[in-house]
Amino acid sequence: MGRGRAKAKQTKVARELKYSSHETDFAALQRELSGGETSLSNGSSGEEHHDDPYDDYDDYRR
């Protein structure tokens, strides 16, 4: 029960993906696949920042 609406939405999305034309940014795809330099909008140095309070104790666990 209720499956009809979900199936109809999936069918609609699949049809849109199949028949719509998308412009592909091949340069961005190449950078992503090769692991190349990416531009970061927040100005960070490329290092991910985690807010894990236990990261300080990582050296003590070994």
**The model's pTM:** 0.34
Mean pLDDT for each consecutive 10-residue tract of the chain (62 residues)?
86 91 86 75 56 68 56
What pLDDT is attached to residue 3?
81
The DSSP code sequence of 9-48 is HHHHHHHHHHHS-----HHHHHHHHHT-----TT---S--
Query: Cα–Cα distance between 62 and 49 in angstroms, integer?
Result: 22
What pLDDT is attached to residue 39?
57
Query: Kind and range of the H or E element at 8?
Result: helix 3-19
